[in-house]
Chain A
Amino acid sequence: MKFLVAIGNWFDDRSGISKLVGPALRHPVPAETASLKSGWMYLFGIGTLTAFIVQVVTGIALATLYSPSTASAYDSLKFITDKATLGSLLRGMHFFGASAMVLFVGLHMMRTYLTGSFKFPRELNWLSGVVLLMLTLGMAFTGQLLRWDDNGVWSLVVATEQVGRLPLLGHAIGRFLLAGKTVGATTLSRFFAYHVFFIPALMFALLGFHLYLVLHNGISEPPKAGEPVDPKTYRARYHHLVERHGKPYFPDAAWHEIGFALLMIIVIALLALFIGPPKLSNPPDPASIVAFPRPDWYFLWYFALLALLRPSFEDYVIILGPAIVFISFFLVPFIANKGERSPIRRPWAPAIVILTVLMIGSLWWYGVIAPWTPHFDAKPLTAQQVGAKSRPVFDGAQLFYAKGCEFCHAIDGQGGIRGPDLTHIADRVPLSDITTTIAGGRGNMPAYVNNLTPQEMENIIAFLESLKTAQR
């Protein structure tokens, strides 16, 4: 033990590390941030950082097992998942680490917005944080793509089509993303480089800057109503606050951050162990036409938004939506860099946050049930459900399935939910109107006039009529 201490002392004497790091570690922080009572809301930043570290470590491990080639990436993923020692755990931790990072970036941002911590002198903390948010989303997107199952390939195509909507530059950026005119061998190599080198390099640099700024400006004290920020006096007041009543960051505030980090890593590992990494979908063949592309959960709400928009203003939302969101993020600290910080005095702040959460939450839920998607896996109705084996009715039921009606319309709860449930349609709508709608289409209902013979149409109508409550 003495020997180790001696080595430590020697190292410190020759390197001067403790002189460099010590004061930073023990820098005074507002007393409230070191108490659990209000210190809990300061844990989201460390949560994000912890997730980032988990991502770096598990990412390096995964890179030793992954093959960034379009010919073999999918097989290497199957190898990681099924065969490689601890591979499934690593993939799982990388997935749940990514999920945690997106989640905590969001919470961290909400907290800094709600407590007005972006105000003077911490504008740069906020701005570097916004860029880090963009980079985190970039990592989330490229990471899902590196899974290189058909979902990964198609999510790239969907992204390409979205940037393609941008006037003038859209096509060029789309080609840039694809690394050519189509998905090819170099596409994946590039995304591997983006995910593993380009974006992380930027993140390390910005994260360093972000943390440096926390030291330089000090962590914001919990806001009190009636104590507005005045750029002329704020720094002196803060200095006074932490010098007089502050606590050293280490260990007073650091211990529960480290405890929280430990807890998070335990949870990430447990989720990876018991739930495991996301299942791989089909192999990545750009020629495959049975794909069912869905983004990972963090983008599912945006996927839903794209389904629900009216086509006429979709372009504006795809292009201007993200632009407006990020431009307003960048403007926030300049619009309000002084004044009250307390959310009680800034009621619009909690209102905006609650509305945003509700909006993303409901869109997310819509993305989960995706009512607009045809149910390709709908099963034909059984004779029992049809309730008749006689010719026109039974044939009509068969056609109802074969012609794809059931992909979008349910009978007795079986089938798609894109269009209305047609179990009792004959009770509500005259048969002649049903015929007109089937033949001519309506709204999102395709016209079947060229597809059904008069006999087939009669059969379908007979089938729908047979479901009338009165006749059952």
Chain B
Amino acid sequence: MQEKPVPPVGDASGDSDAPLQSLQSRQSRKARTRRELLSLVSLGFSGLAAAIVTIPVIGALLAPLTRAEPGEWRSVGPVDSFRVGETKNVTFLDSSPLAWAGPAANTAAWLRRVGDQQFQAFAINCTHLGCPVRWIQQADLFMCPCHGGVYYTDGSVAAGPPRKPLSVYPVRIRDGLVEIQTSAIPIV
């Protein structure tokens, strides 16, 4: 690290050594601090440049975490198209369907008409690891094809690894239509 600084141009060396040496060492110290400063400045520039490029990337990637996706009420058919005691698969659009989403905009529920004006909507996702449960009509059971979770008609656990009942979606009746509120895929 003991670099000899380049003698200043037009330096008259030879006559008196002592002042020159002190000048040189002063200059070398100055050069060293200057280089340390310049290294820091380079680092700072790079960091700033990297931040300017990276922040929008991270912002875009994390956007789904902060984006509000209010639940929309989606009609899934007239009340009379469901028989009391029957559980039916209904499909509707999710809360923010993008024009180019294709089938990915779809979401589904198991809708059960409990009483005359009473409905229950279950998420199709097994509460174990989210696989789609099937309704086995005559057995009156939901069964999961992944790890064998089984649920009763009311969504409570009958067998297998799940510990929580099937998640329910908000459901209401408006103008003779059954409406389900779009919700997130339940992470339980």
Contact = CB atoms under 8 A, between A and B. Distances in A.
Interface of A: 69-72, 153-154, 157-158, 160-162, 164, 170-172, 174-176, 178-188, 190, 283-293, 303, 306-307, 309, 311, 314, 372-374, 376, 402-404, 407-408, 418, 441, 443-447, 450-451
A157 B185 contact: yes
Given A154-B131, A176-B64, A181 B95 contact: yes
Nearest to B134: A289
A293 B147 CA distance: 10
Interface in B93-107: 94-98, 100-107
Contacts of B184: 175, 181-182
Given A70-B104, A160-B185, A185-B105, A180 B96 contact: yes
Classify the interface of chain B: helix, strand, loop or mixed: loop
A309 B128 CA distance: 12
Interface in B49-65: 61-62, 64-65
B141 interface: yes
A286 B103 contact: yes
A372 B124 contact: no
Interface stretch (B5-13, B28-36, B156-164, B171-179): B156-164
B168 to A, nearest CB: 16
Given A182-B94, A307-B147, A373-B146, A289 B132 contact: yes
Given A171-B187, A286-B103, A446-B152, A160 B139 contact: no
A314 B102 CA distance: 35
A450 B158 CA distance: 13
B105 A69 contact: no
A287 B108 contact: yes
Contacts of A186: 64, 98
Interface residues of B, number: 57
B130 interface: yes
Nearest to A399: B138
A224 to B, nearest CB: 43
Nearest to A148: B104
Given A157-B185, A161-B130, A441 B159 contact: yes
A281 B106 CA distance: 18
Contact of B103 (A71, A164, A180, A418): A71
B188 A161 contact: yes
27 contacts: A69-B100, A71-B104, A157-B131, A158-B131, A160-B187, A161-B130, A179-B64, A181-B69, A286-B104, A286-B107, A286-B108, A288-B132, A289-B124, A289-B135, A290-B134, A292-B145, A306-B147, A311-B162, A372-B147, A372-B148, A372-B160, A373-B148, A404-B139, A404-B141, A444-B148, A446-B141, A450-B152
Nearest to B124: A289
Contacts of B158: 441, 446-447
6 smallest beta-carbon distances between A and B, as pairs: A71-B102, A404-B139, A181-B184, A287-B108, A70-B104, A164-B187
Interface in B114-173: 124-125, 128-136, 138-141, 143, 145-148, 150, 152-153, 158-163
Contacts of A179: 64
A293 B62 CA distance: 28
Contacts, number: 189
A373 B158 CA distance: 14
Interface of B: 61-62, 64-65, 67, 69, 89, 91, 94-98, 100-108, 124-125, 128-136, 138-141, 143, 145-148, 150, 152-153, 158-163, 182-185, 187-188
B64 A161 contact: no
B146 to A, nearest CB: 6
Contacts of B95: 181-182
Contacts of A180: 64, 67, 69, 96
Contacts of B96: 180, 184
Nearest to B110: A289
B107 A376 contact: no
Contacts of A161: 125, 128-130, 187-188
B143 A374 contact: yes
Contacts of B124: 287, 289
Contacts of A289: 89, 108, 124, 132-135
